[in-house]
Structure 1
């Protein structure tokens, strides 16, 4: 491959901005300057789909209406553990208005045992809510009535839904053999090949950052101070505004799936694999989607069932989960019981970190506490043991920074405790042990805006309602998916169209693609038509792990650059110059030698020799290479959160008054959308800190709060004032140098709140959520 050397902005404006030289492919565009010198990128651009959303013109999966469409519902087990002896669906099949009935032979979305399953040919029931059969009928009501006619003969078995109880030797076993679970594009899974003993699987002792390092025990021997505690976090279920669901339209020559998904490509792959179809016969469309925070990557049992019912009936089938199904079966953030021991010298230098965790993802995998303790701070000696504990409960799934939110709750409280032992300010300790330049700037700018200097000694605030200030940090890798392609079409009528299979899950992917292409072509974002979320278009990455922006915007710019060069070639002669002396600005192609010589882009397109020009580009390797493999870029997505709380020491009620959130994501593309993402992450973090948790009944194995009445979420009055600080951090690693913000916005919030609560009352709470009873218990008032 031919290459050229190009200088890129490098560093943080106002701190250490400089230049770096990179060797890049010859066909890729020159470096953009920093955002201050750009016209569209880095600005507050209105969402391209804003009007469609506010007027109701936007069609979500639940809005899809097709001719002859049926409605699917699934029969779910009312028992948490059982063998199915037989199933009789004859009465349901005869019920008026029913067009198809299907019985599962295997359920998906959970860990798979190697013991062969139920010899009767049915899946073993392993949690209350596990789908068994499905019905497609002319209405939801008819389908629900038909489900009642299905007769299932169960052999009931003992069960366990509590993390602590499941670890006891006499506990009912969920899986009798070793298990594995495939990672469906971010929708679950865990390290393969680990051993299962009883309900305990593991330990996992490494990540893609490597395994143990140094000698932990020797590290503790050299420590002057040691912090050692157990921290607990809860099971946290998904509550997206739009529940999981699909509409499957099975035709003889192809299948079209309208899906509420974070990953059109993954759903197509799974469906084709499940039904033994070539991918070319499966089309997945996600034009609009009502939220997804990690659990919507895979096809799911609902998608598989809709496929069978549509195939059998010959009609489209809509299968949307209701709110209870969403809680009990669509995935959750696993809980954790994590032990942390951290040693340090008198100057704050860390000598050792030892971590051990247990968590349950129910009948799934992925209940670890992430990599944050391994990578955020400089420490020569580190070890971790992370165990999955199986219980008879719905499977876990990815949930906005899987594991790292739980891990941060322990790590960042421990760091604050260590700072107190060292008689250091929490920020000063992090200045010693954190080598991240971007987090250093975030600490400085955040502390100034938050006025950290007003923080008092823990518990020293007077009065019944005590104020407290706290902070915490996070890190998240810069992931890249090379399987990211963009096609751009320019038509004779002047239209510019961008196409990719990548989906917009509500974060604004359509808008940033329009911005990037408009910036390159010297046009306005509204001049660019964006068509994405359709697997007929070139493959795009799944939306998870903050991966989309860094993966899809470089090929978008590169494809636009190719289009620009083709247009230059076509008009250079008319403008009496050569193509290398042309530029695009304000909707015109302009001669750099004589600005009076120019032609409107629309007029240039009219002169094309063909009806259209099509260019495309795929994500190339990072400039200078990847940090690891072909998926992990250099640098990280750092954040620092500051929290101010009020704690009523008579009622135990905690109110989060204010959050200042300082974040980086490389080159910011759309400030308004970034602020929206950060605001959303903060709100979810506050909710996780104070309100949300799954309540299981040990006697029945059922979730007791599988609704939006008893499963508590914050209302408008409980949402704090949120101020954002966005730090530009240029690395010169791609043609846009931009990354996502989804995960970091969520990781540090809950633990910043916990640290603020400690500062308010002078007693530390080691378990989430921080409910009034826990506060009063900590204050010895109950």
Structure 2
């Protein structure tokens, strides 16, 4: 029977159309039909995550009115069935990381591949054609290289038939089919919606909060009826001062999203406005109002550091310096003398960077419920065990009464750690409502108050002696993290280029703007942006090849190996030399980077035999780095069994302790724990089946016999100390290991000198992080780091209203992240030596792979144009100004 004009055909079946006007097609598909493969991220048609096919045409469903579906044929990612060549290609090429944007990409790519092949047969489209076809889609993780390869191969017919090889990511099929359920996707029956009420002022004292009809006491007879009274909870606490526009004041919940929004709009807040400082110059001016006037308030200031924040003194709104030195007095004296004598081998320059916002495509979201005194949380977090521990402490519960679930995380990049606003609001509202409550930040909230990489102003001074050796270095950096502290930009420079006399100092300048949070390689990219351009300037003054100078100055053997490899690249050897002319000019730049080796000493993996199969469990989470796959690979390779013999379950706090996914510590912590668990399981299996060998592959018959006899056996593997121990003790499941990872990036750009536009064309990323556990997944991480570094260099810049402090770039049109047409073709090279003392032989690479990208791009722009970019992003107006 054909559908009526009031029906909608969804994935080949007739479904009821929306009852009436109101709402979006995305909301109808997700909330009423349960097709959660259609993701909502930006809400403004920019990111493409919600793409569906409407009568065969790709359409962003977040902008399509729900009643526009009536009488149409709709295909969602679920309707592709899992066997479309594009889905196979995406899985095989690991064309994803977190997977939140993947369904939208897959739907668009399927339409493109089908139409391309109908017109061109099995011809392979070039990179530009694919970028044009995918122009309406964004991947914040930066998995574009895999997407290019997947689309090209699908067009060429390479995936018309199923492959015998398993994809590199064990949850790839869940992500390409839309089966992977994120926290934003699952809403239990009877769940209320929560909305946060935020400050309209950058600085004020809150005098009153009129709930506007919402109840402020617990609901006596909760229920899902739409006429139930909304509830309000206070989020401000005893300190009734707000310090930035957008700061949470209260939260309201109602049985429906519309009801919650109406209740929030009805809340009236009484303010006593106070003077505010909205930029760093105003904050440092004499007589400026203090953001934190008392020592107690200063101690309570939030931190954007990933580790402990070293103590420092306060002077008004300036905190610091936090100083590190090696013969620092000598360095300062040499630099002053060089300045007095106008020494040409003194490079003294200042560089600035803008605020970069994390903006994962899955927003911060939490569903909280209370059940008999137990607290249940479904939360999008990159630190599941930490959330469970902190929730237990915050709400004074035994740890075993807190249950946290985080199965799939739609990106984080350092911004989804701890008890964020969505978690606290959802828990308090659930207790007040007597029902489950979901709090999900909208995109404006995500871009305002969910974290950012602080802006910086960094002064670098380098002095070379008559033989071209580094004689002295100072770095002073001022962090602009709003109401938060934690600058470490200068400190990271201390770890570069040997042990010449040096002094580095970090300062924070506090303003009435939203707080920063750690973001991938915190402090590293702004450090490299300043230091690596200063090193290039020194090479220019010495008349020396920039790679050769770094090789001389840098005593790190792992980075020296990367320099030698980079020097042999055709990209480097055939680069243009001398002054460039013409409108379009090509340049090649290089930058080096390092990162601390961090690990989680408490990481554990449990292996169990259940129903004749092996099950690996840990309370860790996967935000796209692929730890599920790493655990599977380590255990199956160590035991010598097929992947089908193991099931991996992560994301539940009831499992043994798993590390958070931040600080480049996940794989280097969980991998060795999984290896020890596998060794202990082998020993346990040998007790039940003598045919199980002491080493090597376990034969299928022996494995089956052993698993039958070992039903119920459980072993736990731990992350033991390295051969030479660690540099620090365990600091809340964080320790500093011995050694530094390294990276060298070589970037090629084309500069349009008429329009001031910079187009990255090719990038070589050399990474020295020891043993690579899963090469394709690791390569994907490093390719994504190049994408994020390009965004930092060219586009990303949070902008605020200078009069009110309100964030103006609160949508994904105004806050631009790179798309597929903005990024270079990237080659990744791994140097896998140098960490033999580490358990597992390898350390994290997520941070080090992003640190030097923007600096390499900046050096490439200078090579092409002779203009030294000092400010990030490298906007066209700034570049044209320099060219004049």
TM-score range, shorter chain: 0.7 to 0.9
Question: Is 1:139 the equivalent of 2:256?
Answer: yes
Residues in 2 aligned to 1:526 and 1:75: alpha-carbon distance in whole angstroms: 49
**How much has 1:481 moved relative to structure 2?**
1.1
Q: Equivalent residues in 2 for 1:249-288 (5 A)?
A: 249-288=369-408
Residue correspondences, number: 700
In the alignment, the residues of structure 1 paired with residue 424 and residue 202 of structure 2 have an alpha-carbon distance, to the nearest angstrom, of: 22
Match of 2:864 in 1: 760
Structure 1 residue 361 and structure 2 residue 485: aligned? no
Q: Kindly tell me: are residues 214 and 487 of structure 1, through their superposed partners in 2, closer, same or farther at Cα, counting changes over 3 Å?
A: farther
Cα deviation, residue 554, structure 1: 0.6
Residue 728 of structure 1: aligned partner? 832
1:532 aligns with 2:650: yes
What SS class does the counterpart of residue 201 from structure 1 fall into? Answer: strand
The alignment status of 1:216 with 2:327, answered yes or no, reads: no
TM-fit CA distance, 1:632? 1.9
Structure 1 position 628, deviation (Å): 4.2
Q: Which residue of 1 aligns with 2:709?
A: 607
CA gap of 1:133–1:558, structure 2 versus 1, over 3 A, is same
Whichever structure has more helix as a proportion of its residues is: 2
Match of 2:446 among 326, 334, 339: 326
In structure 2, distance between residues paired with 1:481 and 1:59: 27
Q: Report the counterpart of residue 247 of structure 2 in structure 1.
A: 130
Distance 1:437 1:194 in 2: 34
Matching residue within 462, 466, 481 for 2:581: 462
The structural deviation recorded for 1:420 is 0.9
Residue 484 in 1 paired to residue 584 in 2? no
Correspondence for 1:10: none
Partner of 2:620: 502
| Bigger Cα displacement from structure 2, 194-203 vs 747-756 | 194-203
Counterpart CA distance in 2 for 1:187 and 1:626 is 21
Please provide the CA RMSD for this pair. 2.1
Partner of 1:567: 685
Provide the C-alpha distance between the structure 2 equivalents of 1:183 and 1:151, rounded to a whole number of angstroms.
27
When residues 70 and 409 of structure 1 are mapped into structure 2, their CA distance, relative to the original with a 3 A threshold, is same
1:639/1:664 contact within 8 Å kept: yes
Residues 670-714 of structure 1 show CA distances to partners (whole Å, capped at 9, x for unaligned) of: 111011101111000000000000111111211111110111122
Give 1:192 shift: 4.8
1:662 maps to 2:738: no
Note if contact 2:689-2:702 (Cα within 8 Å) is conserved in structure 1. no
1:637 paired with 2:759, answer no
Q: Deviations over 1:370-423 (max 9, x none)?
A: 533101211321112211111111100000011111111111001000111111
| Structure 2 CA distance for partners of 1:353 and 1:716, relative to 1, 3 Å | same
- Kept in 2, the 8 Å contact 1:681–1:742? The answer is yes
- Where 1:476 maps in the other structure, the secondary structure is strand
1:94-113 to structure 2, matched below 5 A, reads 96-106=227-237
For residue 842 of structure 2, what is the aligned residue in structure 1? 738
Query: Superposition pairs for residues 341-356 of structure 1, below 5 Å?
Result: 341-356=461-476
Contact 1:369/1:386 (8 A) holds in 2: yes
CA distance 1:212–1:495, change in 2 (3 Å):
farther
Please, what TM-score do these two structures have when normalized by structure 1? 0.86
Relative contact order, higher structure (CA 8 A, sep 6+): 1
The structural deviation recorded for 1:183 is 7.8
Instruction: State the secondary structure of the residue aligned to 1:451.
Output: helix
- 2-structure distance, mates of 1:510, 1:537: 14
Match 2:726 to one of 620, 626, 634: 626
Structure 1 pair 150/559, CA: closer, same or farther in 2 (3 Å)? same
SS in 2 for 1:452: helix
Aligned twin of 1:174? 291
In structure 1, stretches of 5+ residues that fail to align are 1-42, 107-120, 590-598
Report the Cα distance in structure 2 between the residues aligned to 1:379 and 1:623, rounded to whole angstroms.
Answer: 26
* Greater mean deviation of Cα atoms: 525-534 or 552-561: 525-534
Query: 1:66/1:212 Cα in 2 relative to 1: closer, same or farther (>3 Å)?
Result: farther
Match of 2:77 in 1: none
How far the C-alpha of 1:70 sits from its partner, in A, is: 0.7
Distance 1:435 1:689, change over 3 A: same
**In the aligned structure 2, how far is the partner of 1:413 from the partner of 1:447?**
18
Following TM superposition, by how much is the alpha carbon of 1:726 offset from its aligned partner in structure 2, in angstroms?
A: 1.5
TM-superposed deviation, 1:582: 3.5
Query: Which of 175, 200, 205 is equivalent to 1:78?
Result: 200
Write out aligned runs for 1:35-434 (5 A).
Answer: 46-93=168-215, 96-106=227-237, 121=238, 123-178=240-295, 179-181=298-300, 191-206=309-324, 213=328, 215-220=330-335, 221=337, 225-434=345-554
Query: 2 CA distance for matches of 1:613 and 1:219?
Result: 66
Q: Do 2:682 and 2:694's aligned partners in 1 also have CA atoms closer than 8 Å?
A: no
Once residues 696 and 133 of structure 1 are traced to their aligned partners in structure 2, the CA distance between those partners, rounded to angstroms, is 23
Change (3 A) 1:722 1:712: same
Unpaired runs of 5+ in structure 2? 1-164, 217-225
1:719 aligned residue: 823
Determine the C-alpha separation between the residues in 2 that align with 1:428 and 1:83: 58
Q: CA deviation at 1:211?
A: 7.0
2 CA distance for matches of 1:498 and 1:244?
A: 28
Question: Is residue 2:690 matched to residue 1:583?
Answer: no
Aligned: 1:438 with 2:558: yes
Moved more, 447-456 or 315-324: 447-456
- Distance in 2, Cα, partners of 1:233 & 1:735: 37
Return the offset for 1:190: 6.0
Is this contact kept in 2: 1:401–1:743, CA < 8 A?
yes
Output the CA distance in 2 between the equivalents of 1:769 and 1:44: 41
What displacement does 1:187 show?
A: 6.8
Q: TM-score, normalised by structure 2?
A: 0.76
Deviation of the 1:614 alpha carbon: 0.7
Deviating 4+ runs (over 6 angstroms): none
Secondary structure (helix, strand or coil) at the match of 2:782 reads helix
Q: What do the CA deviations read for 1:341-385 (whole angstroms, capped 9, x no partner)?
A: 111123332111111111211011123415331012113211122
Contact 1:502 1:540 in 2 (8 A): yes
Taking the aligned partners of 1:97 and 1:62, their CA distance within structure 2 comes to 24
1:135-168 deviation digits (Å, cap 9, x = unpaired): 1111221111101111211001121221222111
**Does structure 2 retain, via aligned residues, the 8 Å contact 1:368–1:388?**
no
Return 346-355 or 303-312, whichever deviates more.
346-355
1:371 match: secondary structure: helix
Query: How far apart are 1:765 and its partner, in Å?
Result: 1.2
